[in-house]
């Protein structure tokens, strides 16, 4: 008697169980490795007792009428109730399904959805015109965040026995993204001051938002999700407990709340401790003169035309501000990177920076901001000062 678990074709990620018992040989296609090993373990025990029922069963065949669209509908019926999803995450799944997946695969039987067909779709999404909204190709970063939607549907089909294996799993990569460019590109002290001066001319409330953001290191959605009741004006703190995405409020990225100081002096060449300079504390006066549409503590702290500032409104004001300031364009999220790199370059404790910025662990900072940590950077010859030099700060 012998039971062997292996891939019939190396690299296919389709695993089989082969058994020899009482002169008879049997083979059963199971799916992925974990499932095959589980079946193999059960089979060894049952064969020892003379039970060959696991080998005698025929694998379930997906019904010919079970289309990709039908699987999607069944998956979406239960998925939100079984998983704690942010509204934006579920909308992202629905958007990619309705815009790209269902038009391409909706009428195809789920068993006919092969790796080749998936690769053809990916190739089509990477050429100009793929995005109906912009007329451009989908970026590699967009594909990284959207393709898991397809994997969720196929994983569900495997669980239900409609297909034996997920064609997105195993084998060679379905596609290769271009190398990621350096995403951390902080502003210098001179650039940051020019941005704040330009924003003050364009919109009084917007410069307050940018200074709070630059001096606290919050995420974009967290800044836009602040409410008036979150503000502790006396201590220069805000209670970060939600994030705004797709015009909705939800939890922070980590699901945790935290108290954050917005008085760190990132624009000046001084120590990192909050509230040590008149310029860093000037935001306290600015916040007193924000546009107020209601005294309700749940009113958004930063508004645009009477409503909470949304992402399109933020980007519109941000582009205008950088143009007026004469500063090379970077994404507004670089304000968060500027805060973190500045704090670390001034020897702020890594744990303090991680807690204030809302990173899950300090390890994230070691992976992405090492060259701004003087002690480590000097050992590696890569130390970088976030503020170029004293003349730039003067």
pLDDT at 390: 31
> How far is CA 143 from its chain centroid?
12
List beta partners, residue 227: 300
- Name beta bridge partners: 4: 18
Rounded distance between C-alpha atoms, residue 17 and residue 28, angstroms:
5
Per-domain residue ranges for the chain? Answer: 2-56, 68-159, 189-393
Q: Which of 45-59, 73-87, 341-355, 361-375 has the lowest mean pLDDT?
A: 45-59
* pLDDT reading at 363 higher than 90: yes
Q: Crossing angle, helix 87-96 and helix 140-159, to 10 degrees? A: 90
pLDDT at 62 over 60: no
What local confidence, expressed as pLDDT, does residue 214 receive? 97
pLDDT value at residue 337: 96
- The CATH class of 189-393 is mainly alpha
For position 382, what pLDDT does the model report?
57
Give me the pLDDT at residue 54, please.
52
In this predicted structure, what is the pLDDT of residue 50? 65
Residue 318 clears pLDDT 80, i.e. is over it: yes
**Hey, which bits of the chain come out as E strands?**
2-7, 15-21, 24-31, 231-232, 237-240, 243-245, 248-250, 258-261, 303-304, 307-308
Please state, in angstroms and rounded to a whole number, the distance separating the CA atoms of residues 104 and 108.
8
Give yes or no for residue 183 having a pLDDT over 90. Answer: no
């Amino acid at each position: 008697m012998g039971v062997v678990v292996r891939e019939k074709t190396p690299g296919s990620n389709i695993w089989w169980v082969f058994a020899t018992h009482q002169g008879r040989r049997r083979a059963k296609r199971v799916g992925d490795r974990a499932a095959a090993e589980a079946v193999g373990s059960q089979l060894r025990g049952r064969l020892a007792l003379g039970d060959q029922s696991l080998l005698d069963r025929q694998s379930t065949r997906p019904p010919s009428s079970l289309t990709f669209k039908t699987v999607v509908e069944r998956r979406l019926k239960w998925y939100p109730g079984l998983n704690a999803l942010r509204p934006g995450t579920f909308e992202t799944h629905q958007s990619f399904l309705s815009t790209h997946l269902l038009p391409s695969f909706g009428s195809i039987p789920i068993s006919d959805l092969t790796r080749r067909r998936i690769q053809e779709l990916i190739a089509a999404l990477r050429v100009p015109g793929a995005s109906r909204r912009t007329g451009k190709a989908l970026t590699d970063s967009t594909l990284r965040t959207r393709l898991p939607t397809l994997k969720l549907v196929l994983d569900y089909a495997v669980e239900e026995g409609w297909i034996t294996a997920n064609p997105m799993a195993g084998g060679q990569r379905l596609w290769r993204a271009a190398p990621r460019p350096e995403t951390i590109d902080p502003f210098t002290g001179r650039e940051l001051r020019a941005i704040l001066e330009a924003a003050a001319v364009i919109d009084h409330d917007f410069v307050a938002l940018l200074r709070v953001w630059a001096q606290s290191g919050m995420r974009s959605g967290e800044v836009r999700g602040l409410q008036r009741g979150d503000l502790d004006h006396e201590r220069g703190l805000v209670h970060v407990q939600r994030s705004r995405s797709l015009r909705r409020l939800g939890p922070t990225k980590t699901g945790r709340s935290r108290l954050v100081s917005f008085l760190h002096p990132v624009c000046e060449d001084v120590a990192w401790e909050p509230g040590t300079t008149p310029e860093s504390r000037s935001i306290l006066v600015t916040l007193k003169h924000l546009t107020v549409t209601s005294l309700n503590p749940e009113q958004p702290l930063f508004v645009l035309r009477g409503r909470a500032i949304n992402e399109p409104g933020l980007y519109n004001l941000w582009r205008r501000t950088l143009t007026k300031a004469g500063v090379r364009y970077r994404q507004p999220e670089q304000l968060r990177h500027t805060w973190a790199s500045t704090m670390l370059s001034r020897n702020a404790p890594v744990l303090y920076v991680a807690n204030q910025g809302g990173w899950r662990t300090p390890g994230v900072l070691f992976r992405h901001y090492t060259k701004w940590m003087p002690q480590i950077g000097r050992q590696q010859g890569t130390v970088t000062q976030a503020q170029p030099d004293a003349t730039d700060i003067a």
